[in-house]
Amino acid sequence: MSAGVEGLAEELDRRLATADRELARRFPGDRGVRQPVHTVYVPADRYTAATVPDWGARASAVLDEHADTPEALAGATGVPTETARAVHDRIRDKLAREPVEDLRVDFEDGYGTRPDAEEDAAVTAAAEALADTVRSGTAPPWHGIRFKSFEAPTRRRGLASLWSFVETLHAAGGLTDGFVVTLPKVTSVEQVEAMVLVCGRLEAALGLAEGSLRFEIQVETPQSILGPDGTVLVARMVHAARGRCTGLHYGTYDYSASCGIAAEHQSMEHPAADHAKAVLQVAAAGTGVFLSDGSTNVLPVGASERVHAAWRLHTRLVRRSLERGFYQGWDLHPAQLPTRYLATYTFYREGLAQATGRLRGYLGGGESGWLDEPATAAALAGFVLRALDCGAATPGEVEHAVGAGPDRLA
């Protein structure tokens, strides 16, 4: 490089130093940690230390009753028979071993408005029950609460429940890195800034490390997508969280209702939902913040015909979300767990051969027939690592197919 070019490069370094720092701070990239495939919401008054194993047992019982063989599961859900055979045992194992990956004890819509004394008691009972599961090693990898929003009518109640829950959980020895809370019905950047303030005050009061409390932003209001000034507020919310935001969760029904969509047509696949989620996807890109789709409220209950119809819908919607880059969703009932894992495992198993083959070629292990760039190779590695995280594939399978283990892929 000539002296003139070197001098110009140094000048550019000086001119762009602030922009470089801001880019690295605001867009640090993937966090390199596992993302759960779903979040399960359980009303606070129904949560006990036995809730998660009970959900697994109930999900297995529904599978026994309505699709006890791979062939029956294929017929009930519409997936190919060979695919159902390939994942059936994995689903059974998952329901017995880890039926819930991420749990929210719900003090918001799922719990409703109760007298203060009743909610106070429910907070204490739920926090102590969750602490029991953490100490015994039976808690899901991620767990926490959804409290009432910071909108004016519910602000004090939500703050009181959040503070008391964290305080009780910490005192009982149950506050770990797996704890995360959900901030619902966000309508302004200022509410996110208020949540950052609350986290800091809680950490100081309990002697926790700064930045240890994290939260998700639940996007279920039009105001979070488009502010009154025409800007995308959710993008500003992510950065206003100062590194504490771990996820953006789309709220299907509150958002749809707020947009004036009739109840019959409120759905994860409504055009209004797709627009909102496309905005979330761009806002979160490069930040390390996870995305979660919402839920379907069509539950697999009743006679087999109704169960099968709900399973087909759930399987299709979960698959649809995965194809669009939303690797997490909500589940509201134990009978949705079989199809959560069916759709998830099917998605990864069907794409595994091509992904591992292309990675092998990229890493110099042979001709794959694809000319992949580094960004695509990283996406392929991410796909395979997600398959490993959720149990759709094993490390041995991946290492055999790629010629490299999980550490190299990461």
157: which residues sit within 8 A by CB, 6+ positions away?
116, 119, 148
pLDDT in tens, 113-134: 999 999 999 999 999 999 999 9
Mean pLDDT, rounded, for 183-198: 97
> What pairing do the DSSP bridges indicate for beta strands 102-106 and 181-183?
unpaired
Of the pLDDT bands very low, low, confident and very high (cuts 50, 70, 90), residue 171 is very high
Q: Are residues 169 and 205 in contact, defined by beta-carbon separation less than 8 angstroms?
A: no
Question: How many angstroms separate the CA atoms of 161 and 357, rounded?
Answer: 50
Task: Return the closest-CA partner of residue 324 out of 355, 293, 287.
Answer: 293
Residue 368 has pLDDT above 90, yes or no: no
Q: How far apart are CA 366 and CA 374, in angstroms?
A: 17
Of residues 264 and 370, more confidently modeled: 264
Provide the token pair at 281.
């996807």
- Side-chain-side CA neighbours of 243 within 13 Å: the count stands at 10
Question: What domains sit in the chain, N to C, each tagged with a CATH number?
Answer: 38-344 (3.20.20.60)
Identify the pLDDT of residue 86.
93
Question: Which two tokens mark 250?
Answer: 């789309």
Residue 367 pLDDT exceeds 90: no
pLDDT value at position 3?
84
Average pLDDT, whole number, for the chain?
95
Q: What is the pLDDT of residue 402?
A: 92
